[in-house]
Each structure stands twice: as structure tokens, then as C-alpha cells.
């Protein structure tokens, strides 16, 4: 039997096959296996190299052994390979012990002495922030494991938890293998400001931070990453990773870096997405790895694969294949789900809304407003035309038709401000980042109301203005939520005309002004939010769009009032918007008020009814599930929404 010797080069991360390799590659099936399944490189002298970079070394070795056995070759493993295997088995055994302890911490079974040392460390090195009980446990779990996920709900203080763990790990002795001294945060651009502000609030000083954003040239980014004394906090967007991937790897090798993926569901793509692949390559070079997301599985359990691959790249934490996870996502009663949760339990912590101990918000009864005479005529005209179309489609079982959903949007516009009907509906889809090839423009059917804005002020604007005036008279601040950009602009101007200063937050407002450089002429979201927080702010009202302001923004310290002038059927965005002012840090006596302004006998009432049902359904899911699935939460319009719309319309028309 022919002999193949297996050597390993751990520096270059590949296996080396020598010996009877010419005989091996002369076998067409064996050569095909080498190239297709092992990505092997066959040199001119028939020396075969098989890389295991970014892969599990032991899995690659098993495939090599399986191949040699299949084609009847004898293997001869070098001492280095044997040592590597022994190291692997020892690591596996240690990992089992580690996992059990991590799970114990998660279940509040802590080593009292060790935990006390951790708490004392935070009191010294995190001077300006006192973590509540579950935050402390989460930070301790993270500091112990170094690699973990936090799936807590928005507003639970995930940023403070990370800084708590970081402060502990940073102040370990230099010879401690767990020590870190830098943080790389990869997240949405909108998260950069909050991370820097939270550092100031936790440590009592401004961070030494750098934003590797688009405002910084690639040359400057590289200079920063290769610096002998880089910034303590480096912030980078997911989209920016691929262009400096190799430089980031070098940065991670040169420094002791904690890598944080904020809103980490953005790397859920397991089908070869560039962003996900680029981020995953950083994993094995990171000293500490942290996943932060309140929605770990937005589309199903398959979304968990990359999250756990990132925190433990050399371990097979999730034992199921992707198609198994997809099957489980469709069957809530699938008994395999409990095994999945059990397998991943040691490596994540989740704080639920009920754990936060914050005052219950006040959902004020909907304010039902009769439409003005002109608006009522326009709405009735649009509704009768569109509802007949929807009823016809419902008989054909075609309620998922794009044109049906487009007409729902038209009704939403007419219920607030018929002046929007002169805009092509595709503008809404563009602003909302919804893509479709079937845009419609039905503005010709409503040309008669092209001058609506000159005839009257929408009734909702008047009622909202009165609420705002009352709140401002009590020295309170307000956020107003609206769906359509043009409506936001018109309402903002209406408030200005009535002496009420305000600012708009929507997609066109820049997220950040560059790399720690202040450009006074550019008004960014950060500047608006910072100014809003000031006691002497020249404006007390922010008008926001949930598409643009759904992540990383906290207003609860200065704003306890939210007015909803218009809403869509999207329950996830609705809940996220409410969380902007309902978060950990509120005082027990704080009163959070939500006001919902609805046009009477319109689609508004259907949206309100459907959102109440969806919100309760999602809240139950979030509170009662370890890994809640939000599979349908982001759908703009569900089939049931349209059915309820038709039912209510028919009932109302029959009463007339």
C-alpha cells in the first residue's frame, strides 16, 4: 500500500502531503476530490498543500484521512500533526468545562469570590456607571467567556454591558491571556455617536476614538490601522469592512482587540454575502468577540449560524445543517428546537423587557378625528375606487398583488394629507427602501385635488399641533412619528408657521459628519439629537421617520412623549419607534405618553386594530421565547391586514 506523509505548517495554516503524491494525483477521482472538496494546490513536484485558513483544522484533517483511506493509501502523520490533534482534544475537553461554567453563570450560579472581584473591578474602573443586576451578570458572563452573544431587547443597555466587560478585561495584568486593550466596533453608522457618548458616560472622559467611515480616505484608514498606538475605540460600518479586510486582520494581530458586532443580524447571510464573509474572516484573529442584536433570528433559526460561527469559529456550536434549521423555523413544535437552544445556551444572554423594571408606558386612547369636508370627499372617492378593486382581487385569491398593496398606501396617504396623492407612489417605495419593478402612478385619477394644500390644513396637523403646544407649555419635549417624507416636511413647516421650532430626522439627513471633524454647515442626525438633549435647545420637537430612526437612538432622558400622526402596518418598526423613549434609565415616576391620531372611518382605524394585535403577538413572542422568530414582523402589509380592511369597509358601507 502506498504511503502519504501528512505534515502541518501552523504559521502558513496548511497541511502538506508528500510521498506517493504522484500516484495519488494520477487517480482522476482522487485528484477531483483534492481540488473540489479540499481546495488543494498541487505543485510541479507533486507536493500537495491544503489550506485550513478560516476553516476548522481538524475537519480538514478528517477529510484528508477519509480520502486516503478511500483510495487505499497509508497515512503517516508527523509529530507536529499528532501534537496538534492532542492539543485539539485537550481544547475540546476544556471547552466542555468552560461551556458548563458559562451556562452556570447564565443561570445565576456564580463563584461568589470571583464575581465579587469582578464587581469591585467595575466600581474602580467603570466609575460613572452602576450596572443593574442583570447587566452585571451579562457583563460578568461576557468577561468570563470573552466570546458571547447578547440578544437583549432594545433599551436594555447592551452598550454599558460591553463597556463593563471591557473595563474588567482591560485592567487585567499584561501577562493574563484574557487581557484586551482596544475595541473595534462594527455597526451601523448611526451607532457611532451612541458608542462614543456611552463611553463618556461610563468612564467619565471622552474616548480616544476613530471612525473609519467614508469621510476618511483609505490611506488614512490604513495609517490608523498600522499605527503603533492606534485609537482605543475604532468604529467601522459593515459596508466598510471588505475594503480594508487584510489591514484589519493585521490590526487585530498587532493588538489585543475586543471586536463587537452591533446590530449583528446584518451578517446573517449564509449564502456567500461579501459583508458576512469579510466580517467572519476577522473572527479567529480577535482576542474577544461579541455579538449584539435584539433580533438574532429575524427570518428563522438559520440566521443564527453566522452569529455563533463568529464567536466560536473553531467550534461547531450549532449542530444542525442549514436546511434542518429552515425546517425547524416552519414548525414551532419541532422537538429539535429544544436541543438547538440547549446547545447555544452557554454562549448567549438575553434581557427581556419585563426585566428592566421601568414604568409601564401610557397608551392613550386613540384620538379619532372627523375629516374635513374636502378631505372626506377625496378619501371617499379614493376608497370606493380602490376597495372595489381589492374586493375583486380577494375573490380571485390575489391579495398579495403589488397593486393591492400600493392602493393601501394611497389610502394611508389620503387619511392624513390628500395632497400627497399627487406624488407617484414609487417615491414612497424608494424612501422606504422597498424595491419592486412594478411601480404605478395613478395621479391622473386625482388631478382634481392637486390644489388641496391651498384649500385646507389636514385635520391631524391641527390636533397634533395643539397637543405639542400643550406639552411645550409644560416644558416637555416631543417626538412625532410619520410615515411619508413629504408629510413630515409639510407638518414641520406648519409647526414653524405656528411658532414651533422643530427638526426632521429621515433618510436624507446625514448620519455622521466624518471622522471626528466638525463641519458646522452640515446638520447631521447626531447634531440634531445632541441639540435636542440640551436644556437650552432651541427646538422641543423632532419629527421622525421609523425607516431611518429605528436603531441606536435613545431619547428617553429628555423626551417622554410620542405622537403618531400616521403609521404603517409594520409592527416591528412601530415597536422600535416606541422603544426610542421607553428604555432602561427611566425613573419610576417618569410618565411615558403615546398619542395616536386617527382619521375617523378610514384605514387608520384598521391599522390601529391590526397593530394592537401584532404588537401583543410580538410582545408575547419576545417575552416567552429564548430565540424569538420575527419571520413576518417586517412585512409592510400582510394578507390579513387587507382582509380586515375589506371587512370593515363592507360593514361601514352597509350601515350607510
Note the pLDDT tens digit of each residue in 322-342: 999 999 988 888 899 999 999
CA distance 25 to 42: 8
Cα 156 to chain centroid distance, Å, stands at: 14
| Rounded (10°) CA dihedral 416, 418, 420, 426 | 90
For position 374, what pLDDT does the model report?
85
Q: What per-residue confidence (pLDDT) applies to 52?
A: 83
Domain boundaries, the chain: 3-86, 110-351, 370-453, 461-655
**Is 1.10.287.1770 the CATH number for 461-655?**
no
CA dihedral 111, 114, 117, 123 (to 10 degrees): -60
Q: Residue 459 pLDDT more than 90? A: yes
The DSSP string of 629-656 is: B-TTTT-SS-HHHHHHHHHHHHHHHHH-
pLDDT digits (tens, 9 = 90+) for 200-218: 999 999 999 999 987 788 8
The three three-digit cell numbers of residue 15, written as one number: 497541511
| 72-129: pLDDT as tens digits | 888 888 888 887 777 666 667 778 888 999 999 999 999 999 999 999 999 999 999 9
pLDDT at 552: 64
The crossing angle, in degrees rounded to 10, of helices 245-254 and 218-225 is: 20
Q: What pLDDT was estimated at residue 428?
A: 47
Concatenated DSSP letters of 218-253: HHHHHHHHT-SS--SEEEE-GGGTGGGHHHHHHHHH
- Residue-wise pLDDT for 274-303, tens only, equals 889 999 999 989 999 999 998 888 788 999
541, 574 Cβ separation under 8 angstroms: no
Using 50, 70 and 90 to split pLDDT, how confident is the model at 445?
A: very low
| Per-residue confidence band for 632, with pLDDT thresholds at 50, 70 and 90 | low
Q: What average pLDDT does the structure give for the chain? A: 87
Domains 110-351 and 461-655 share a fold: yes
Q: Which of 523, 515, 524, 577 is nearest to 551 (CA)?
A: 577
- Alpha-carbon distance values, 352 to 140, 141, 268, 316 (Å): 18, 17, 22, 27
Average pLDDT estimate for 441-456: 62
Confidence (pLDDT) at 450: 67
- Does residue 633 carry a pLDDT above 70? no
In CATH terms, the superfamily for domain 110-351 is Tandem AAA-ATPase domain (3.40.50.10810)
Distance CA 339, CA 324 (A): 12
By the 8 A CB rule, do 40 and 64 touch?
no
Burial class of residue 590 in the structure, from the number of CB atoms within 10 Å of its CB (0-12 exposed, 13-18 middle, 19+ buried): middle
626 Cβ contact partners less than 8 Å away, ≥ 6 residues apart: 341, 345, 350
Q: Give this prediction's pTM.
A: 0.81
Report d(CA 374, CA 456) in Å as an integer. 8
> Residue 260 is inside which H or E element, if any?
strand 257-262
- For cell 414641520, name the residue: 492
Q: What is the pLDDT of residues 243-276, one digit of tens each?
A: 999 999 999 999 999 999 999 988 887 776 888 9
Q: Is residue 483 packed enough to be buried (19+ CB in 10 Å), middle (13-18) or exposed (0-12)?
A: buried
Amino acid at each position: 500500500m502506498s504511503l502519504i506523509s501528512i505534515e502541518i505548517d501552523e504559521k502558513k495554516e496548511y497541511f502538506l502531503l508528500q510521498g506517493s503524491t504522484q500516484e495519488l494525483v494520477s487517480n482522476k477521482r482522487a485528484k477531483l476530490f483534492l481540488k473540489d472538496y479540499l481546495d488543494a494546490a498541487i505543485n510541479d513536484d507533486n507536493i500537495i498543500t491544503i489550506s485550513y485558513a478560516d476553516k476548522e483544522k481538524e475537519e480538514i484533517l478528517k477529510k484528508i484521512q477519509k480520502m486516503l483511506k478511500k483510495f487505499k493509501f497509508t497515512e503517516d502523520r508527523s509529530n507536529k500533526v499528532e501534537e496538534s490533534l492532542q492539543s485539539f482534544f485537550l481544547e475540546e475537553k476544556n471547552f466542555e468545562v468552560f461551556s458548563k461554567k458559562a451556562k452556570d453563570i447564565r443561570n445565576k450560579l456564580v463563584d461568589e469570590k470571583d464575581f465579587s472581584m469582578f464587581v469591585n473591578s467595575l466600581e474602580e474602573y467603570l466609575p460613572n456607571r452602576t450596572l443593574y443586576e442583570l447587566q452585571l451578570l451579562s457583563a460578568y458572563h461576557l468577561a468570563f467567556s470573552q466570546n458571547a452573544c447578547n440578544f437583549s431587547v432594545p433599551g436594555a443597555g447592551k452598550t454599558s454591558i460591553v463597556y463593563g466587560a471591557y473595563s474588567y478585561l482591560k485592567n487585567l495584568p499584561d501577562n493574563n491571556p484574557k487581557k484586551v486593550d482596544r475595541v473595534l466596533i462594527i455597526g451601523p453608522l448611526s451607532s457611532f455617536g451612541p458608542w462614543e457618548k456611552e463611553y463618556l458616560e461610563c468612564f467619565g472622559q471622552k474616548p480616544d476614538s476613530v471612525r473609519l467611515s467614508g469621510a476618511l480616505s483609505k490611506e488614512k484608514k490604513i495609517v490608523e490601522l498600522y499605527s503603533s498606538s492606534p485609537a482605543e475605540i475604532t468604529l467601522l460600518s459593515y459596508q466598510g469592512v471588505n475594503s480594508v479586510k487584510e489591514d484589519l486582520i493585521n490590526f487585530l494581530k498587532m493588538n489585543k482587540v475586543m471586536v463587537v458586532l452591533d446590530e449583528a443580524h446584518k451578517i446573517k447571510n449564509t449564502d456567500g454575502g461579501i459583508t458576512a464573509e469579510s466580517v467572519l474572516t476577522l473572527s479567529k484573529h480577535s482576542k474577544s468577540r461579541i455579538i449584539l442584536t435584539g433580533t438574532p433570528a429575524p427570518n428563522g433559526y438559520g440566521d443564527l449560524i453566522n452569529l455563533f460561527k463568529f464567536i466560536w469559529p473553531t467550534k461547531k456550536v450549532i449542530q444542525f445543517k442549514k436546511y434542518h434549521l429552515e425546517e425547524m423555523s416552519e414548525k414551532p413544535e419541532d422537538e429539535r428546537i429544544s436541543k438547538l437552544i440547549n446547545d447555544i445556551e452557554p454562549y448567549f444572554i438575553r434581557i427581556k423587557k419585563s426585566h428592566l423594571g421601568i414604568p409601564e408606558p401610557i397608551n392613550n386612547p386613540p384620538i379619532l378625528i372627523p375629516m374635513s369636508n374636502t378631505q372626506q370627499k377625496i378619501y371617499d372617492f379614493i376608497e370606493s375606487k380602490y376597495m372595489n378593486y381589492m374586493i375583486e382581487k380577494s375573490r380571485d385569491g390575489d391579495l398579495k398583488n403589488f397593486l393591492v398593496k400600493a392602493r393601501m398606501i394611497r389610502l394611508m396617504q389620503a387619511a392624513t394629507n390628500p395632497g400627497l396623492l399627487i406624488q407617484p407612489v414609487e417615491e414612497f417605495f424608494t424612501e422606504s427602501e422597498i424595491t419592486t419593478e412594478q411601480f404605478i402612478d395613478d395621479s391622473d385619477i386625482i388631478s382634481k385635488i392637486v390644489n388641496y394644500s391651498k384649500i385646507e390644513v389636514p385635520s391631524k396637523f391641527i390636533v397634533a399641533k395643539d397637543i405639542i403646544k400643550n406639552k411645550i407649555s409644560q416644558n416637555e419635549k416631543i417626538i412625532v412619528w410619520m410615515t411619508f417624507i413629504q408629510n413630515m416636511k409639510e407638518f414641520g413647516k406648519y409647526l414653524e408657521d405656528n411658532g414651533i421650532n422643530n427638526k426632521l430626522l429621515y433618510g436624507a439627513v446625514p448620519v455622521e459628519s466624518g471622522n471626528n471633524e466638525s463641519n458646522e454647515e452640515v446638520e447631521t442626525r447626531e447634531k440634531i439629537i445632541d441639540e435636542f438633549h440640551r436644556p437650552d435647545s432651541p427646538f422641543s420637537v423632532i419629527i421622525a421617520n421609523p425607516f431611518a430612526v429605528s436603531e441606536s437612538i435613545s431619547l428617553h432622558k429628555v423626551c417622554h412623549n410620542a405622537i403618531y400622526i400616521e403609521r404603517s402596518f409594520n409592527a416591528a418598526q412601530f415597536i422600535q419607534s416606541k422603544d426610542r423613549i421607553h428604555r432602561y434609565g427611566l425613573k419610576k415616576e417618569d410618565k411615558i405618553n403615546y398619542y395616536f391620531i386617527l382619521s375617523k372611518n378610514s384605514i387608520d382605524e384598521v391599522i390601529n386594530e391590526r397593530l394592537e394585535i401584532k404588537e401583543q403577538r410580538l410582545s408575547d413572542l419576545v417575552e416567552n421565547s429564548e430565540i424569538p422568530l420575527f419571520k413576518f414582523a417586517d412585512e409592510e402589509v400582510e394578507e390579513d391586514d387587507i382582509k380586515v380592511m375589506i371587512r370593515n369597509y363592507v360593514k361601514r358601507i352597509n350601515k350607510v
